[in-house]
């Protein structure tokens, strides 16, 4: 068995500024050893440790999709020592990636179901991965209706804007893009907070409809009642959690919620599961 | 079952001889008490040790361990590519380990050796190590190991269990590893099996009689996590705690760790260090949000992990071996035996 602490070496292939305030950048990595790409075989919803020798590691959701080959992508918010360092790195620099880590959205269970994706702010990375995965021609027929509610503070703070607007034009996905507010008179999508847009636009739940939520705690807190009002039951609400992590493999002991470790047993849990554990996230 | 008698006059010579094959660890006394140390040349395990301040966990899981390194010199072909620090394959033996500490190693193994991942640092060290235990003839007042699935003469996790018979040791060989260690010492005087078994039995019963402290954890399994987590007693338990983390460092079953990087000139190292759930930083998010922000939450985490989450996760009893170190070392007298009693007897009132 391989050393789970040893990162795969990667080269930064591209860096894009993701939001207008430049606090988020999207990094595209290419594996230095091509065989490592195969070993890094992942599902939408998983995360990885981005590993910078001499600086440290950070757990980040994988923003690229399993159907995209030849690279992996991560969108990173600049906030601490490692992320600040990463934001100052340049194309061609060598670093490491450890993973894929954690569980993923329950794709088997979601087959033949309606899927509602709800995201806020920069917690849209694994949701982007999921949408690309579901819209792939080989996969689209596995799912029924797909609805996406995604909101950010302003149009310039939406991640993956080009893709969002492309998806908006398609007829096999219902996009509900929203911003908290904007002075842009040409803005043709929703205005308002995510929970409100969910209440007004998300489909009512039947037993074949599941919601996946990823966002800041405040958005999750107010979206839950909106979903309950639409008839979603605890097991139909799927959430991805974040906690401080180090090892990412269930050993270092800090990310637990009760006996569950967010890094290994999660980060994806249903509300039904979460309601049985201490709310230590 | 094979038993060997070791005349104490031959002890030092035999242990010295084993160094040809083994790197030795054992209890050494300094001004603060007994500690488990890497035994340098001419150092012998101090077999008078009745209980050590720190457990043997550091032999497999050093307080600070360099796990990876990389060159940052861009002129080198493999710059910024991390590599494992080479493992010293020399066999190791811990001599004079207490039975409860050997049981703790078995509990910690469940964390580091799983179906999904194998921690190579811990597991390689574990596989290279022979555990030569010695029974505790006179357990101290903090020892409640008979309530935790071990005891002063328990064999769990040991390769050899020795009994101290004043002028000799009687060694019960439990595994091939143990047999190999005894052979490397040149200890080969076989003792009568029946007599030895009887003697061990007497010593064990005598020692167990000396244990005056017991806990009952039998009802914890059937309580729900939330029932205990939301119980009203945690503020009282945590009231005097100063979050110093001593309990977690002296505990033989506490395994939580941190990973930190260091760079000196063109050389990067990645270390893992013991960490403690008593520290607010342990769980603090980069955003400043902290899921266990208050000390009550942190104290609750420690006891819930040991006395509830571990039971639920592995169904192998509690994550405590009854060594009593945390009770003895706590500066404010928080006592896991008391906490266990409160949790075990708690019934939610409606």
ipTM of the complex model: 0.92
- All structural domains of chain A: 8-101 (2.40.30.10), 107-240 (3.40.50.80)
Closest Cα to residue A9, out of A27, A35, A45, A42?
A: A35
**At residue A2, does pLDDT exceed 90?**
no
Give strand pairing partners of A260.
A257
In angstroms, the CA A245 to CA A253 distance is: 8
d(CA B224, CA B111): 22
* pLDDT tens-digit series, residues A138-161: 999 999 999 999 999 999 999 999
Question: What is the side-by-side order of every strand in the sheet holding A174-179?
Answer: A190-191, A174-179, A146-152, A114-120, A209-214, A237-240, A268-270
Question: Do both B229 and B192 map to the same domain?
Answer: no
**B58-112 per-position pLDDT tens digit:** 999 999 999 999 999 999 999 999 999 999 999 999 999 999 999 999 999 999 9
Q: For B79, which residue in chain A has the nearest alpha carbon?
A: A94
Buried b (16+ CB within 10 A) or exposed e, A131-162: bbbbbeeebeeebeebbbbbbbbbbebbbbbe
List the single range of A120-134, A204-218, B79-93 with lowest mean pLDDT.
Answer: A204-218
Contact B155, B98 (CB under 8 A): no
Per the CB < 8 A criterion, the answer to whether B335 and B213 are in contact is no
* Domain interval for residue B163: 2-61+85-210
pLDDT computed for residue A220 by the predictor: 85
Residue with tokens 């934001």: A87
Which residues from A are below 8 Å from B289, CB to CB?
A: 217
| Mean pLDDT computed over A148-177 | 94
Q: pLDDT exceeding 70 applies to what percent of chain B?
A: 100
Same domain, B90 and B54: yes
Chain B nearest CA to A227, separation (Å): 24
Q: Is B41 within the bounds of a domain? A: yes
Contact across the interface for A254 and B285, Cβ inside 8 Å = no
The answer to whether the CB atoms of B304 and A55 lie below 8 A apart is no
**pLDDT digit string (tens) for B140-183?**
999 999 999 999 999 999 999 999 999 999 999 999 999 999 99
| Long-range pairs for A188-194: beta carbons < 8 A, 24 or more residues apart | A190/A151, A192/A151, A193/A151, A193/A219, A193/A222, A194/A118, A194/A119, A194/A120, A194/A149, A194/A150, A194/A151, A194/A219, A194/A222, A194/A223
Mean confidence (pLDDT) of chain B: 95
Of residues B72, B224, B225, nearest to A53 (C-beta): B72
pLDDT for res B350: 67
Q: Which residues of A touch B67 (CB under 8 A)?
A: 5
Residue B71 inside a domain? The answer is: no
Do residue B190 and residue B231 come from a single domain? no
What's the rounded mean pLDDT across residues A167-179? 95
Decide if pLDDT at A239 tops 80.
yes
Give the tokens for residue B308.
Answer: 């509830």
Question: In total, how many domains does chain B have?
Answer: 2
On whether both B235 and B200 belong to a single domain, the answer is no
- Looking at the domain assignment, is residue B201 inside a domain? yes
Instruction: Let me know if residue B75 belongs to a domain.
Output: no
Residue B158 and residue B36 in one domain: yes
Asked whether the predicted pLDDT for residue A219 surpasses 90, the reply is no
Closest CB to B68 among A6, A249, A256: A6
Please indicate, yes or no, whether residues B10 and B137 belong to a single structural domain of this protein: yes
For an interface test with A, the pick among B220, B227, B234, B283 (most A C-beta atoms closer than 10 Å) comes out as B283
Using CA atoms, how far apart are residues B160 and B181, in angstroms rounded to an integer?
9
CB contact under 8 A, A79 and B292: no
Q: Give the pLDDT band of residue A216 (cuts 50, 70, 90).
A: confident
Q: What is the model's pLDDT at position B181?
A: 97
Residue range B252-276, pLDDT digits in tens: 999 999 999 999 999 999 999 999 9
Asked whether the beta carbons of residue A253 and residue B67 sit closer than 8 angstroms, the reply is: no
Region B103-130: mean pLDDT is 97
Do B119 and B191 have their domain in common? Answer: yes
Q: Are both B28 and B134 inside the same structural domain?
A: yes
Verify that B235 and B304 share a domain, yes or no: yes
Indicate the length of chain B as a whole number. 350
Q: Determine how many CB atoms are found less than 10 A away from the CB of residue B214.
A: 11
**Measured between alpha carbons, how far is A29 from A71 in angstroms, rounded to an integer?**
6
Q: How far is CA B52 from CA A113, B103, B146, B208, B249, in A?
A: 60, 15, 18, 19, 13
Shortest distance, CA B313 to any CA of chain A (angstroms): 6
Residue A211's φ and ψ, nearest 5 degrees, are: -115, 135
**Residues of A with CB below 8 A from B257's CB?**
246-247, 251-253
- Residues B325, B176 within the same domain: no
- Among B70, B226, B259, the residue with its CB nearest the CB of A247 is B259
Confirm whether B264 is domain-assigned.
Answer: no
Contact B282 A278 (CB under 8 A): no
Tokens matching residue A163: 């893709």
pLDDT in tens, B282-312: 999 998 999 999 999 999 999 999 999 999 9
- Shortest distance, CA B260 to any CA of chain A (angstroms): 6
Give B-chain residues touching A11 at CB under 8 angstroms.
none
The answer to whether residues A243 and A255 touch, using CB atoms and an 8 Å cutoff, is: yes
Q: Is the pLDDT of residue A1 over 80?
A: no
pLDDT confidence of residue A249:
96
Give the integer Cα–Cα distance in Å for A141 and A38. Answer: 26
Query: How far is A178 from A157, CA to CA, in rounded Å?
Result: 11
The reply to whether B216 falls in a domain is no
Judgement on whether residues B131 and B9 belong to the same structural domain of the protein:
yes
Contact A95 B80 (CB under 8 A): yes
Q: Which residue has the higher pLDDT, A218 or B20?
A: B20
Cβ <8 Å between A6 and B82: yes
Beta bridge partners of residue A240, listed in sequence order? A268
**Would B298 be classed as within a structural domain?**
yes
- Cβ-Cβ contacts under 8 Å, A94 against chain B: 79-81
CA-only gyration radius of chain A, Å: 18
In this structure, are B183 and B250 located in the same domain? no
Contact B117 A5 (CB under 8 A): no
Q: At what angle do helices B336-345 and B295-304 cross, to 10 degrees?
A: 80
Q: Would you state the pLDDT for residue B42? A: 85
CA A260 to chain centre: 20
pLDDT at A87 over 90: yes
Assigned domain for B215 exists: no
Check residue A218 and give its pLDDT: 82
- φ, ψ dihedrals at A192, nearest 5°: 140, 165
């Amino acid at each position: 068995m391989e050393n789970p602490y040893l990162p795969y070496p990667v080269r930064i292939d591209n860096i894009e500024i993701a939001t207008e305030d430049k606090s988020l950048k999207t990094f595209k990595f290419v594996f230095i050893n091509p065989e490592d790409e195969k070993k890094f075989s992942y599902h939408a919803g998983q995360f990885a440790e981005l590993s910078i020798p001499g600086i440290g590691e950070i757990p980040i959701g994988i923003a690229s999709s399993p159907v995209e080959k030849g690279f992996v992508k991560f969108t990173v918010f600049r906030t601490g020592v490692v992320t600040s360092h990463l934001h100052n790195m340049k194309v061609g620099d060598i670093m490491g990636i450890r993973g894929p880590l954690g569980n993923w959205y329950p794709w088997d269970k979601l087959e033949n179901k309606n899927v509602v994706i709800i995201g806020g702010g920069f917690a849209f990375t694994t949701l982007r991965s999921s949408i690309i995965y579901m819209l792939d021609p080989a996969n689209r027929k596995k799912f029924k209706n797909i609805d996406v509610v995604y909101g950010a503070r302003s149009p310039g703070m939406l991640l993956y804007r080009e893709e969002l607007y492309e998806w908006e034009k398609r007829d096999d996905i219902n996009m509900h893009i929203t911003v908290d507010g904007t002075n842009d008179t040409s803005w043709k999508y929703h205005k308002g907070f995510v929970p409100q847009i969910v209440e007004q636009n998300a489909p009512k739940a039947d037993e074949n409809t599941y919601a996946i939520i990823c966002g800041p705690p405040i958005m999750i807190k107010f979206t839950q009642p909106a979903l309950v009002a639409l008839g979603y039951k605890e097991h139909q609400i799927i959430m991805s959690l974040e906690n401080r992590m180090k090892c990412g493999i269930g050993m270092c002991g800090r990310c637990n919620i009760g006996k569950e470790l967010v890094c290994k047993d999660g980060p994806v849990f249903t509300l039904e599961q979460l309601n049985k554990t201490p709310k230590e996230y | 079952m094979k038993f060997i008698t070791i005349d104490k006059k031959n002890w030092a010579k035999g242990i010295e001889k084993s160094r040809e094959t083994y790197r030795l660890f054992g209890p050494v006394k300094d001004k603060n008490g007994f500690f488990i140390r890497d035994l340098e040349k001419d150092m012998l395990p101090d077999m008078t040790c009745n209980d050590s301040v720190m457990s043997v966990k550091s032999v497999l899981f050093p307080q600070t361990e360099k796990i990876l390194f990389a060159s940052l010199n861009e002129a080198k072909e493999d710059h910024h590519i991390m590599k494992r620090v080479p493992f010293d394959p020399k066999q190791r033996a811990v001599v004079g380990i207490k039975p409860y500490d050997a049981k703790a190693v078995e509990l910690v193994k469940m964390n580091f050796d799983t179906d999904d991942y194998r921690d190579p640092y811990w597991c390689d060290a574990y596989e290279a190590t022979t555990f030569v235990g010695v029974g505790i003839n006179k357990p101290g007042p903090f020892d409640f190991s008979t309530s935790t699935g071990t005891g002063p003469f328990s064999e769990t996790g040991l390769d050899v269990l020795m009994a101290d018979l004043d002028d000799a040791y009687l060694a019960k060989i439990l595994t091939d590893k143990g047999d190999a260690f005894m052979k490397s010492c040149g200890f080969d005087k076989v003792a009568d099996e029946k007599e030895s078994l009887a003697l061990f039995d007497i010593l064990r019963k005598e020692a167990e009689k000396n244990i005056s402290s017991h806990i009952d954890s039998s009802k914890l399994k059937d309580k729900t996590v939330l029932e205990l987590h939301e119980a009203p007693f945690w503020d009282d338990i945590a009231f005097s705690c100063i979050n110093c983390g001593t309990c977690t460092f002296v505990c033989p079953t506490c395994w939580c760790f941190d990973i930190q990087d260091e760079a000196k000139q063109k050389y990067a190292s990645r270390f893992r260090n013991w960490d403690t759930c008593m520290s607010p930083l342990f769980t603090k998010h980069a955003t400043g949000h902290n899921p266990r922000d208050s000390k009550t939450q942190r104290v609750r985490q420690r006891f819930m992990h040991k006395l509830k989450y571990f039971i639920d996760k592995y169904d192998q009893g509690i994550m405590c071996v009854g060594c009593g170190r945390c009770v003895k070392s706590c500066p404010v007298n928080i006592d896991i035996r008391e906490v266990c009693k409160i949790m075990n007897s708690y019934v939610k009132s409606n």
